Structure 1
Amino acid sequence: MPTVLNHYSIRFIIFLVFSCVLSTSLLAEKKYEVGLTADIPYVDIEYKGKKIRIKRIQDQQNTLTSNYSKTSRACPPFCITPMEIAPNVKTVGELEVIEFIKTEVNSGRGLLIDARLSEFYDTETLPGAINIPFIIFNDPSLITDIVSLLGVEKKEGKYDFSKAKTLYLFCNGPWCKQSPLAIKALIKFGYPSSKIFYYRGGMQLWKLFSLTTVLPKPNQIDQQVK
């Protein structure tokens, strides 16, 4: 009899453990009712030595209240940019940017460039982004100072782009000219267009999807537009 009781006791304990694990798993799934995709609730990355979770705000009543909630701006200068910003430069969306951050930026093979002026970048940017304002790319005397950061080497007076990094550039949104100007300047400089990608949605679309942003100063995480 004791053996039978022990046998059933063990089975009951196993059942309880399994139930707890299953309940925890279900709770974890319910925690992210607003995922990145149907299969991916979030993506974890490292940013300046800290772990950051790229996810969306779970409050389904949340709305934009910042400057990015505006629908109309004077054109010119804030005109709608085309989907194809330059020949052989691919336009990408949010999921491609997230995958790029996770794989290429984290490994050092690629750079996510916030091409906005520093006052915009200092307020808020995408996780993993570095700030190279478009005016630097448009100034021949300045761009030569940062080409090594892009993986470009100067040999015998000529620039070698064979090890050039893959670049994703963005700015404020589809109405902003800062990253398009930077992209065109890079191509004029000789950077291979096949290694340049344009995130046209920029900050406005990133925030519209309530994706995680970071505050470079003082490097805190802002989960939503204020």
Structure 2
Amino acid sequence: MTHKIILICTTVLMFFSVQAWSAENSKNDLKVKITDDLTGITVKHNGKTVTIERNQDQANTIAEDFALTSRACPPFCIQPMDLLPGVKTIGELEMLDFLKRKAAGEPILIIDSRTSDWVEKGTIPSAINIPWTKLFPQSSTYEPLEVEGILTLQFGASVSDNIWDFGSAKTLVFFCNGPWCGQSPTNIKALVNMGYPAHKIHWYRGGMQAWNALGLTTVQP
């Protein structure tokens, strides 16, 4: 009996060792990595596990929705690199770091500021959608009570006697369609005007255009 138990345990250990070896080798076999030592990261999106990595088809091209170079300005004007004092502009590697930290449990929200018609075409895994129309006071869909709910229930701020406390508010990372898109800048400016600390806000200026151009994983909501 003892020999049988030892044999079973040895077989199980060998199985998992082979699985781990195969997984590691499959990672090493990837020809298109994110960096020299990073093949991908794993996050949760709507309760499902998603691995963010780059498209392995080296003949792949950018999606048609992001191939246009000359949208009319206004409204599709090139955004500045520095949006507001204190708000940090980030690139893809920084976005991936925020995604990893969020997956590890840090109080971080990745926010897609686009309207639903754009989000339906694909978004960054683990992002939530808060369209610019929700936070912009001049928008026809702006509702103060809904904004208060977003700030308290989702962002972790608190309010008492109309005085906001952002001491425990989450770190927010915004993005939209790209350097020509004003949707995430509108959200960011609205929040800063409300008193949200600029140092708790980060902006992925490249947005979905840059994300797609690098062949990074997207998901549909």
Moved over 4 A (4+): 23-27
Alignment correspondent of 1:89: 87
- Cα distance 1:26–1:79, how it changes in 2: closer, same or farther (>3 A)? same
Identity %: 43
**Residue 147 (str. 1) matches residue 151 (str. 2):** yes
**Residue 162 (str. 1) matches residue 167 (str. 2):** yes
Alignment correspondent of 1:33: 31
Q: Does the 8 Å CA contact 1:42/1:55 hold for their aligned counterparts?
A: yes
- Cα distance 1:60–1:153, how it changes in 2: closer, same or farther (>3 A)? same
Q: Give the residue type in structure 2 aligned to 1:195.
A: K
Q: Give the residue type in structure 2 aligned to 1:204.
A: Q
Alignment correspondent of 2:15: none
- Give the paired residue count: 197
Alignment correspondent of 2:121: 123
Give the TM-score, by structure 2 length. 0.83
Query: Quick one: distance in 2 between partners of 1:118 and 1:65?
Result: 18
CA RMSD in angstroms comes to 2.1
The 5-angstrom pairing of residues 210-221 of structure 1 reads 210-216=215-221
Q: CA deviation at 1:42?
A: 1.0
Deviates more, 1:25-34 or 1:164-173: 25-34
Alignment correspondent of 2:14: none
Q: Does the 8 Å CA contact 2:44/2:103 hold for their aligned counterparts?
A: no
- Cα distance 1:85–1:63, how it changes in 2: closer, same or farther (>3 A)? same
Query: Quick one: distance in 2 between partners of 1:28 and 1:196?
Result: 37
Structure 1: where are the runs of 5+ without partners?
A: 1-19, 217-226
Q: CA deviation at 1:156?
A: 3.2
Query: Quick one: distance in 2 between partners of 1:121 and 1:106?
Result: 25
Give the TM-score, by structure 1 length. 0.81
Deviates more, 1:201-210 or 1:40-49: 40-49
Once the two structures are superposed, residues 165-205 of structure 1 have per-residue CA deviations (whole angstroms, 9 ceiling, x without a partner) of 00000011000000001100000000000000000000100
Structure 2: where are the runs of 5+ without partners?
A: 1-17, 138-142
